[in-house]
Structure 1
Amino acid sequence: MSEASELGRRVPMTLPDLLELDLTVRAGVRWLRPVLAAVAHARGDGMPARIIGHAARAFLGVQIPEEAPPDEIAAALATARFYLRRVTDVDGTTLYRLFHQSLADHLRSHPVQRTETGGVDPKLLLAALLAPLSGADGHRWDIAEPYLLRHAAQHAADADQLSLLLDDVEFLVHADPVTVAPLLDGHPWLTADDLLEAADPLLRRQLLALCAVRHGARDAAWRLANPPGQAPVPWQPAWSFAGSVTAVACAEGADVVAVGDVAGEVHLLDRHRGTALTGPLTGHGSRTEALAFGRHAGRLVLLSFSSDGELRLYDAMSGAEVRADRVHGASAAGGMSLTSVAGRLFAVLAGPSATAFLVDVYFGTATSFVLGLATVPSATGSRR
């Protein structure tokens, strides 16, 4: 009777007990427990076999784990098939996950052997997952498997090393934005909305570079625009302007850029650094609609046009106002150009519905055109 009681006591009563009995019987399959421990740490729908092979090294219980032979990992997965469920990933690979949470909880607590309680340091697991991506210029996220692009940030958070990935601009470019976005709280230059705006990595790279330079993270912006081992991005952001910009103009042959804003102010900036060359040019009573540089009488000038029809001419180097005028009924919604002809300075304003306005800036006369039709005289500007 006592022998029967002893036998009955040894019968597995829980799934973890059944697993431990099975592992004892299959002790010859060396990678079986490390593989199951790796799967127990899987996120989402599970891990693919290749990632399991990398992660399993963290659960060997040795100081310097050896590489996991792919055939032995495959054999361990086949042996453990009773405990696994499978789904197909977006790239066609099979994902593996334990079929019951109690198995995952048990293996997380006893990853190396049953008699040892306490999980493996998450930093070891993260290092094992990222090791295959290591290169001379950092981690190669462009070759990472979908599992890591989705879940590496979560493993990094478990290891208290999330900043390691969020400071890596190549990770931000290639990682799954849906998974990473909720983890961006407090990021110095990137918001969840910005990350989610572009699904394509190429577009995301350009958007992130703009976000970085807008928040003063110029080093990050440069790294985004000049990815290692790839051609530089053709258009690279150098600086940004903090404000509601409504008009921009670049001077030809001079390192100056003009920026107009919704308040009607105009700002003269260094084209390379974005620093202010003068104080704000004020005077407009409404939104700056168009800006144009030109040369007249041997000096660089800037013409500004506001949405209420006001023209203001400035010395583009000092910011001093030269004159102001108003053109009634004119619009520069389609842009504006400035040219000097026979000693006279003219502005051409492109308005709506194929209309254009030719303005003699110093004399204040304006003529409207309907493109393709005869010219029609229009209102005369009033000098001030």
Structure 2
Amino acid sequence: MSGTEPRRYLIATAISHYPNAPAELEWDRPGLVEARRAIVELFTQELGYTHVSDLGLNPTKHQLTRELREFCRSPERRADDVVAVYIAGHGEVLDNDDYVLLTADTEPDDLYDALLPSTLARKILAGTKVRRLLLMLDTCFSGQGGNELLSAMARLKNDWREDETGLAVITSAQPRELAQTGAFPELLTEAVTSFATAGYTPPLLALDAVVNATRTNPKRPDFQHIGLEIIGLTGQIPPFLPNSKHSNQLSHTDLALQQAAEWDEQDKRRDVEFRTRLLRRAMGHSDPSRVGWWFSGRHQALHDIAAWLADPAAEARPALVVTGAPGSGKTAVLGLVAAVSDPEYRRTVPLASIGVRAGHLPRPKSIGTTVYAQSLTDQQIVRAVAAALRLPQVEAVADLLNHLSARPVPDRPHVVLVDGLDEAATPTTLCSQVLRPLMELAAPHLRLLLGTRPHLFAALGLHPDDHIDLDSPRYADPEAVLVYTVRNLLDAHRDSPYVDCPHDIRLAVAHAVAAAAGNCFLVARITAGTLAATPGLPDPCDPGWRRALPSAAADAMHRDLHQRFGDDAGRILALLRPLAYAEGQGLPWEDIWAPLASELADRPYTNDDLHQLRRDAGAYVVEAVEDGRSVYRLYHESMAEYLRQGQDGGRAQRAFTDVLRRTAPYHLDGGRDWSRAHPYVRRHLSAHAAAAGLLDALVTEPDYLVHADCDSLVARLPEVQSDTARLHASVYRTSIDIHRRLDPDGRRQVLATSAARYNEPALLNAFNSRALPGAWKAVAASGALLADNVRNVLTGHSKTVNAVACTELDGRPVAVTGSRDKTVRVWDLTTGRPVGEPMTGHTGHVRT
């Protein structure tokens, strides 16, 4: 554990014997001794906790509260300590609905003297430094005790700073449920170590993901449901459960990362993108357990990129684009360039073994920032660049340029590498309205190294000399494809028949595969992997065999799956298909991936099937991270295109919408509890619903509006159709400039105020009904509403605005404004964001 990690302590006890209880009551639970031992092993061996063993087994009420109190009040406690308390035993709900915990000295005829949850909470928290507490109750009816604990904890934390608060209660059963002895430790252990909860990437486990995994475990008794409640740490992954699978040892490159200084959140995200996308592609394989590099060739392309980076006339060539057909190795080339540009990563790249000469590579620190654009919005790209340049947080290119112009001219420009432009949320506007203005106006502060497919060249306004086409005669590298093919024949499968076969046969097979693949490394990889997994050797001189070799990624994937898995290929395809429709960085496993595969295929699939997929076809899937949780995507976009072929896209999006909605838990009144929905649901459900034509039903749920990701939802609100949905959309957009910056509780109050301004009492009551106790509630509100029901603050002009006109641009409503600052600006009225750059050159004030 590194020095920046908090100290973690476990106090675990079990009351397995009740001396005062007659045998006929059957209070004794000998199996709880083993349950406690299992929890101690889980927390100390898997999660890095120190076991505080003073309490032991079978404490009395006084012993339990005294030991907890003494530990928590110790001068050695720090506010950043993480304390986990596990208590197993017997719980009862009294006639007055109070829950009590029975300790070793409890008298059966006086249960009203047993331990109350509020007493337990007070002993741990009142007047102590404990601010990070995970309390686990493993008793019958423990959900009732959990509710009372949360109520007591909420009162005790009133004077704490919000960033200090982190209290969680996990209960082994619901308020009226029995708890099977030993079930909770077993279910918790399997959930904590399951890939359905998290893969290798997230350093922490989300508590709700862990609890969801216990509920879907087939070993769970039908009558028992584990519960969870959390106070504080809104929007964060609580620090209670470190991910035991998390490893920066995916390759030697990550050893340097552990020694780096603390980075801000944007830096961390970019590093994750680099390691899971560009670096993994540069290494040439997707298996996270491998540490070797399979990159080969591309000497001319690497040389020319290095020359551009070192060009003293940087302003004359502010951008360079690397392009090529799908599978041509564009991301691999850029990944290698990014790796060797980083001084720490550079030392881990085996240049000699991959045959790349140092003279063909850029110097250290040549590239300052790396971004992978898949699913990112224009504003997210701008924010990423601003963060990398240590500029104030901005979302408009004009503001970014203004900040840059105020800076002294640097000795050399900051180079930003942006790959995957064609996979961005809005590729055309990203190129024309973000990257092109930066290319034209940000010199000498900024240069761009870009990766995209060729169809975006026009939007970038590129000169023919400003790109490297990996498929052109100058840069195509057939020898590199051949070397890569040989490496896959040898190493893609542990039992490859090509390891011990005659060299001439291996080389002949590799030549045939590489010739069919042409310039496509992806086709060579898949085809060679298929052959490596096939026990027999083909006859490379057989014309029929050579003609059957695939030349396109879709054909290679089809052949691989059907040749290796035969009749079982349909199962593999069905399990992979949800990833082809995933938004953002990828699809969560948890309780989402398997249900989606089941819905799309109209047959049941479970987590066991996903584990089998991981063993059989894991090379097709890459783990990434979003919102601190593991998500999974296909290794290459070409694979997604293949999996979408012949599918009803509308039906797929309807399936996504239905399944994602069902994952949101319920309130007691039967309404959806969107506050506890998976982050993927809150961020991306609107995209799936809009594509499915089901957005109206979502927008008419007031609580969904409170918790949905603002930037994702607002861009799709113009698509709603029904009168009610349009009304709700108007209420939402009326104050979007305010509530998009707020947490859900603040957003609820602003939305309620907007509903009051619209004189919509039913909607007002819906927002107010779930307000926090003690929070102010809107009753009535006044204020003019704009004709199109939108109020955005359009910030950018430095002086008085003299003229405003509204029109449409590319089918979207826009406003055009003129100002005394001698500029004209265009604004997207749907999002409130600037469109393009300010129009300058006026010699006086711009008026109507």
Letter in 2 for 1:72: D
Aligned twin of 2:645 = 109
TM-score (norm 2): 0.26
1:220, 1:172 → 2: CA distance?
Answer: 11
Cα 1:162–1:77, aligned 2, differ >3 Å: closer, same or farther?
farther
Q: Distance in 1 between matches of 2:645 and 2:673?
A: 32
Partner of 1:241: 782
- Please say if residues 173 and 204 of structure 1, whose CA atoms lie closer than 8 Å, have aligned partners that are also in contact: yes
2:608 corresponds, among 64, 71, 89, to 71
Give 1:202's aligned residue: 745
* Whole-Å separation in 1 of the counterparts to 2:658 and 2:704: 15
Instruction: Say if 1:142 and 1:38 are closer, same or farther in 2 by CA, change over 3 A.
Output: same
SS state at 1:138 partner: coil
Q: Which amino acid aligns with 1:143?
A: R
Does 1:58 pair with 2:58? no
Equivalent-residue separation in structure 1 for 2:554 and 2:583 (angstroms): 20
Counterpart of 2:657, as a letter, is L
CA distance 1:224–1:8, change in 2 (3 Å): same
Write out per-residue CA displacement over residues 160-195 of structure 1, whole angstroms, 9 at most, x where no aligned residue.
Answer: 111111111111111111211222335232217246
Q: Give the 3-state SS of the residue equivalent to 2:568 in structure 1.
A: coil
Q: Which residue of 1 is the match for residue 762 of structure 2?
A: 219
Quote the residue 1:140 is aligned against.
673
* Distance (Å, rounded) in 2 between the aligned partners of 1:38 and 1:233: 43
Does the CA-based 8 Å contact 1:212-1:218 persist in structure 2?
Answer: yes
Aligned length: 231
CA contact (8 A) 1:184 1:190 kept: no
Task: Kindly provide the CA deviation profile for residues 220-269 of structure 1, in whole angstroms up to 9, marking residues without a partner as x.
Answer: 22111113xx866643222222369xxxxxxxxxxxxxxxxxxxxxxxxx
Structure 2 residue 654 is the aligned partner of structure 1 residue 123: yes
Distance 1:134 1:90 in 2: 19
Is 1:176 aligned to residue 717 of structure 2?
no
Classify 1:214/1:77 alpha carbon distance in 2 versus 1 (closer, same or farther; 3 Å). farther
**Offset from partner CA, 1:266-322 (integer Å, 9 cap, x none):** xxxxxxxxxxxxxxxxxxxxxxxxxxxxxxxxxxxxxxxxxxxxxxxxxxxxxxxxx
Change (3 A) 1:109 1:29: closer
Equivalent residue in structure 1 for 2:699, among 149, 166, 179? 166
Cα–Cα, structure 1 residues 137 and 36, in superposed 2: closer, same or farther, change >3 Å?
same
Q: Greater RCO between the two (CA within 8 Å, min separation 6)?
A: 2
Partners in 1 of 2:575 and 2:709 — Cα distance?
A: 25
Residue 109 of structure 1 aligns to which amino acid in structure 2?
A: Q
Q: Report if aligned partners of 1:226, 1:232 keep a CA contact under 8 Å in 2.
A: no
One-letter identity of the residue aligned with 2:758 = H
Query: 1:203, CA displacement in angstroms?
Result: 0.9
Residue 90 of structure 1 aligns with an amino acid whose one-letter code is D
- Distance of 1:15 and 1:84 partners within structure 2: 15
Alignment correspondent of 1:154: 687
How many Å separate the matches in 1 of 2:627 and 2:740? 21
How far did 1:36 drift?
Answer: 0.9
Q: CA deviation at 1:119?
A: 6.9
Alignment root-mean-square deviation, CA: 2.8
> Residues 1-384 of structure 1: matches in 2 within 5 Å?
4-24=542-562, 25-26=564-565, 27-28=567-568, 31-50=571-590, 51-60=592-601, 62=602, 65-66=603-604, 68-91=605-628, 93-110=629-646, 120-133=651-664, 135=666, 137-185=670-718, 187-191=729-733, 193-194=736-737, 196-227=739-770, 234-242=775-783
In 1: Cα distance, 2:649 partner to 2:712 partner:
28
CA distance in 2, matches of 1:237, 1:43: 36
Hey, what's the Cα distance between the residues in 2 that align with 1:81 and 1:108? 19
Q: Which structure 1 residue ranges, 5 or more long, are not aligned?
A: 112-116, 245-384
Q: Secondary structure at the match of 1:188?
A: helix
* 29 and 14 in structure 1: CA distance in 2 versus 1, 3 angstrom threshold: closer
CA contact (8 A) 1:88 1:95 kept: yes
The structure carrying a bigger strand percent of its residues is: 1
Deviation at 1:43, TM superposition (A): 0.7
- Structure 2: 5+ residue runs without aligned partners? 1-538, 719-725, 786-848
Asked if the contact 1:189/1:211 (under 8 Å) is kept, the reply is yes
Structure 2 CA distance for partners of 1:119 and 1:83, relative to 1, 3 Å = farther
For 1:79, what is the secondary structure of its paired residue?
A: helix
For residues 58-95 of structure 1, the C-alpha deviation after alignment (integer angstroms, 9 at most, x for no partner) is: 221x3xx43x322222322443321223212223x221
Judging changes above 3 Å, is the alpha-carbon distance between structure 1 residues 86 and 156 closer, same or farther for their aligned structure 2 residues?
Answer: same
Question: For the residues of structure 2 that align with 1:205 and 1:118, how far apart are their CA atoms?
Answer: 34
2:85 is matched with none
Greater helix fraction, Structure 1 or Structure 2: 2
How far 1:134 moved relative to its partner?
5.7
Give the Å deviation of 1:144. Answer: 1.3
Please report how far the alpha carbon of residue 99 of structure 1 lies from its aligned counterpart in structure 2 after TM superposition.
2.4
User: What secondary structure does 2:778 align onto?
Assistant: coil
Say which is worse superposed, 189-198 or 157-166, in terms of deviation. 189-198
Displacement of 1:201 in angstroms is: 1.0
Tell me if the contact between 1:54 and 1:128 (Cα under 8 Å) persists in the aligned partners.
yes
Report the AA paired with residue 122 of structure 1. Q
Task: For 2:649 and 2:766, locate their aligned partners in 1 and report how far apart those are by CA, in whole Å.
Answer: 40
Once the 2 structures are TM-superposed, how far is the Cα of residue 4 of structure 1 from its aligned partner?
2.4
CA distance in 1 between counterparts of 2:699 and 2:642 reads 31
Q: Report percent identity of matched pairs.
A: 25
